Amino acid sequence: MFPKKPPMGFNTWNTFGENISDAMIRETADAMVEKGLLKAGYEYLVIDDCWSEKKRDPVTDRIVPDRVKFPEGMRVVSDYVHGKGLKFGMYSCAGVRTCANYPGSFDHEFLDAETFAAYGADFLKYDYCYKPDYADGTLLYRRICTALDNCGRDILLSACNWGADNVHDWIRSTGAGMYRSTGDISDSFVSFRDIFLSQLDNVKFSGPGCFNDIDMLTVGMRNRGNVASTGCSDLEYRTEFALWCMFGAPLMLGCDVRTIDDTTLKLVTNPYLLRINQDEACRPMFAAHKEWDGQRYVFARVLTNHEIALAFTNLSDNDGTLWFPFDAIGLPVSAKKGLQLTDAFTGEDAGVEKEYMRIPVKAHDCAVFIAKVVNL
Ligand code: GAL
């Protein structure tokens, strides 16, 4: 499957871990529709690890859905999800066991692809634990992509090898539609900051067909659930979401969308930020300015419609002022033009600036604008 824009959806892992069930998936599907998340673009509902029995069926060798969590099997769950207009995602692993020690797909790739197709899956997250040392990771992702390409269903492969083996160099050639480039996120500012910064040099590898996945969002988790850590403030969550949008990363919600609070809902359905994330040109973001501490940046991203997104980002622990000259985005003083700004968080007109901008940004916060070049 060749995604043209960063995939968007929800994944069970961050909040639910092993506590998943038929009822929880159906309720999530209901919530994604009722709360307007599907309408905003969040179309995949992905079941992560821990969905199966611990052993394959001794007769058919197939993976079997957990009989307690999914008593009626997966097809009915998938039918329900599809009935809501959503797409259905499953999880497996390139190794012999999944990371939480359930059966993996190693040497069962074609059989499992067939099983996922029979479930009606549209998406498969594919992890990297318990890979035999002698097996080459590149080859294993090629295998599952070949298997999916020949299973009779269009299934997006979401590779998850945490950035190992220089994954960005070869993953696009396998047919994967997105690839995890980092270790696991937890619900803290430090976690999302470090993940984001670690991929600045790799933004250029991300684009239509295969997107760099910097992990599921923790936005709105409020330190509840499987990857709880220190939790984040509202200000930190909005920075996380804005950075994922600027990066052009897949947007997979990790909070419990059944109980999502209004602030979070408003943030993740913000049309300006989503426009930045989903811009069809998928041009890479770049640092138009970087402060000496490596923690304060002005990121820019050229959008279609002659627009440019700007994110004044303060990842340091101190309030500060961020500055950048418009020349850094290709607008020299000699052009005698300015930037007309729209505040991406509020949608408000933020006026016209010329030559440069200098604005205060609180510690861990960011200010995001969509700008258009105008005559002065
Ligand atoms: C990790 C992966 C997580 C989650 C977990 C499940 O390897 O990075 O996102 O899928 O396995 O056990």
Q: Cα(254)–Cα(232) distance, rounded to whole angstroms? A: 14
Query: Which tens digit of pLDDT belongs to each residue from 20-43?
Result: 999 999 999 999 999 999 999 999
Q: What is the pLDDT of residue 313?
A: 98
Q: Which atom of ligand 1 is nearest to the CA of 91?
A: 10
DSSP 8-state secondary structure symbol assigned to residue 249: -
Q: Write the residue with the smallest CA distance to atom 11 of ligand 1.
A: 99
Q: Which atom of ligand 1 is nearest to the CA of 100?
A: 12
184 CA from centroid of ligand 1 (Å): 7
5 CA from centroid of ligand 1 (Å): 23
314 CA from centroid of ligand 1 (Å): 29
Q: What is the pLDDT of residue 337?
A: 98
Q: Which atom of ligand 1 is nearest to the CA of 160?
A: 8
- Which of 16, 18, 49 maximizes ligand 1 atoms within 8 Å of its Cβ, making it the mutation to test the pocket? 49
Average pLDDT over residues 347-354: 98
Residue 366's alpha-carbon distances to 77, 157, 159, 231, 314, in angstroms, are: 40, 32, 30, 18, 6
Query: Residue 1 pLDDT > 90, yes or no?
Result: no
Query: Residue 70 pLDDT > 90, yes or no?
Result: yes
The catalytic residues are: 127, 184
Average pLDDT over residues 196-206: 97
Query: Which tens digit of pLDDT belongs to each residue from 119-169?
Result: 999 999 999 999 999 999 999 999 999 999 999 999 999 999 999 999 999
215 CA from centroid of ligand 1 (Å): 10
Q: Which residues line ligand 1 (CB under 6 A)?
A: 13, 48-49, 98-100, 127, 129, 160, 162, 184
The pLDDT mean for the chain works out to: 98
302 CA from centroid of ligand 1 (Å): 33
Exposure string (b/e) for 26-58, b if CB count within 10 Å is 16 or more?
Answer: bebbebbeebebbebbbbbbbbbbbbbbeebee
The residues pairing with 289 across neighbouring beta strands, listed in sequence order, are 298
Q: Which atom of ligand 1 is nearest to the CA of 216?
A: 9
Q: Write the residue with the smallest CA distance to atom 8 of ligand 1.
A: 184
Q: Return the closest-CA partner of residue 361 out of 313, 290, 326, 324.
A: 313
